[in-house]
Amino acid sequence: MAAPRKYSEELKDRATRMAVEARRDPASRAGAISRIGKQLGIHPEALRNWVRQAEVDGGVRQGVSSDDGARIAALERENRELRRANTILRQASALFRTGGARPPTTVIVGFIDEYRSQHGVEPICRVLSGHGIKIAPSTYYAFKTRPASARARSDAGLVRVIASVHQANYGVYGARRVWHELHRQGHTDVARCTVERLMRANGLRGISKAKTPRTTIPASSPMPTDKVQRQFTAEAPDRLWVADITYIRTFDGCAAFILDMCSRMIVGWQLSTSLHTRLAFDALDMALWRRAREQRDLSALIHHSDKGVQYRAIRYTQRLADAGVVASVGSTGDSYDNAAAEAFNSLFKAELIRNRGPWHGHSDLEFAVTEYIDWYNHRRLHSEIGYQPPAEYEATFYDQPQTSSTEFVTTTGSL
């Protein structure tokens, strides 16, 4: 029979008491621990540790007493349990989004399968049961060992069909349309409530119809006339600029752009988390500064926008007047009157926002927009200007004799 790995408490107490008493007697102090350990069959180092702890408990030596050590160990153990419970609850947050209803056992078992190697089955069951999702370890093990029921087998096959229908329709169908499509495919025995249950359990849902926040708030000041009349063409750069503000959902903010309708050059832009006048003004300021640096003539320029308060603000209109730019606005509630700017907004979101996201704050998106505008102006090929980048188009335009400028008339073709 193998020797026990631990000493009995009685032997430990007796050896410690004898060693402590021997160390108090100067005549027997030297080599007391080694001698007593050898006599009782205890390793000297183990006995020495016991003696040190006994002296700490008796106040003879500085250190952590046994009671304090036990209390600290209990607190550390409790702290570990709390951290583990918080981790489990954070990982199981999706299980608590069912409005108070207990998730299906299949979903709970799947969660335990995913995290059992990290926490163990019993701790996960204990934490979930303590927060309203009752499941015993025996329930988990029974579920893993018993054969699937007829309903479970039926659900497994139906979920694949539902997921296929959902995916084939851009992921926008809700339970009602999925149910109708299943009937069209011949699954007439499937109830709508079954489709709802399986879609909810597997995280499938229809597209939200939430509206984009409104960015155009009509101003009450007198309005300039519409000098463009949906004719978004220009015979030369700096004859017609269109401006607009668009909302960026993933950024929870807005972007303002100014587009030259001859070259399709983005001459000014700005990002902001608010719709204050400063957003549109900064884009205009960038555009005017850029053209002034290039020594461009803006005397024949028309600036076209919607009737938003940002573009009709006194500060904005005064800046246009100071630069000798004529203002033009479209009609209220008609996106076609600023269709060119709206088209660029859609292109911007498709090519950058949805294609390269997600974004991690204002700075992250600002760097990305800077790179995108540089690419758009200097490298992107635009079909409406003969598949040239805007910067190249403008350089070619100004290299030509002014009498041939009519060759550069642009249209509102695709961006």
Kindly give the confidence (pLDDT) of every residue in the chain, 415 residues in length, as a single tens digit, with 9 standing for 90 and above: 455 567 788 888 888 888 888 877 777 777 888 888 788 888 888 888 888 888 777 777 776 777 777 788 888 888 888 888 888 888 888 776 655 667 878 888 888 998 888 888 999 999 888 888 888 999 889 888 888 788 888 888 999 999 998 887 767 678 888 888 888 888 889 999 999 999 888 888 876 644 444 445 444 455 667 777 777 888 889 999 998 988 887 677 889 999 999 999 999 999 988 777 788 899 999 999 999 998 998 989 989 888 887 888 888 888 888 888 888 887 655 566 788 888 888 888 888 888 777 788 788 888 989 998 998 898 887 778 877 789 999 999 988 775 444 444 454 455 6
Q: Quick one: 95 and 158 in the same domain?
A: no
Q: What CATH number does residue 246 fall under?
A: 3.30.420.10
Q: Quick one: 399 and 258 in the same domain?
A: yes
Q: Quick one: 277 and 388 in the same domain?
A: yes
Q: Quick one: 107 and 139 in the same domain?
A: yes
Q: Quick one: 298 and 322 in the same domain?
A: yes
Q: Quick one: 293 and 326 in the same domain?
A: yes
Which tens digits make up the pLDDT trace of 359-391? 887 888 889 899 989 988 988 877 788 777 899
Q: Quick one: 173 and 265 in the same domain?
A: no
Domain boundary among 145, 171, 190: 145
Q: Quick one: 264 and 377 in the same domain?
A: yes
Q: Is 95 a member of any domain?
A: yes
Q: Is 222 a member of any domain?
A: no
Residue 180 C-alpha from the chain's centroid:
33
Total domains in the fold of the chain: 4
Handedness of CA 378, 383, 387, 391 (dihedral sign): negative
59 in Cβ contact with 45 (< 8 Å): no
Q: Quick one: 295 and 378 in the same domain?
A: yes
Q: What CATH number does residue 50 fall under?
A: 1.10.10.10
Domain boundary among 36, 63, 90: 63
Which tens digits make up the pLDDT trace of 40-96? 888 888 888 888 888 777 777 776 777 777 788 888 888 888 888 888 888 888 776
CB atoms within 10 A of CB 243: 24
Domain boundary among 18, 38, 63: 63
CB atoms within 10 A of CB 277: 17
Amino acid sitting at position 188: T
Q: Is 225 a member of any domain?
A: no
105-119 and 121-130 are packed helices; what angle lies between their axes, rounded to 10 degrees?
130
Q: Quick one: 37 and 52 in the same domain?
A: yes
User: What integer pLDDT is reported at residue 73 of this predicted model?
Assistant: 83
- In three-state secondary structure terms, 344 is helix
Q: Is 1 a member of any domain?
A: no
Q: Is 217 a member of any domain?
A: no
Residue with tokens 């660029």: 344
Q: Quick one: 371 and 248 in the same domain?
A: yes
CB atoms within 10 A of CB 408: 19
User: What integer pLDDT is reported at residue 96 of this predicted model?
Assistant: 67
Q: How far apart are CA 255 and CA 271, in angstroms?
A: 4
Which of 398, 208, 315, 247 lies closest to 390, judged by CA? Answer: 398
Q: How far apart are CA 303 and CA 242, in angstroms?
A: 6
As a whole number of angstroms, the longest Cα–Cα distance in the chain is 121
Q: Is 381 a member of any domain?
A: yes
Q: Is 218 a member of any domain?
A: no
Q: Quick one: 131 and 274 in the same domain?
A: no
Q: Is 77 a member of any domain?
A: yes
Q: Which domain holds residue 368?
A: 240-408
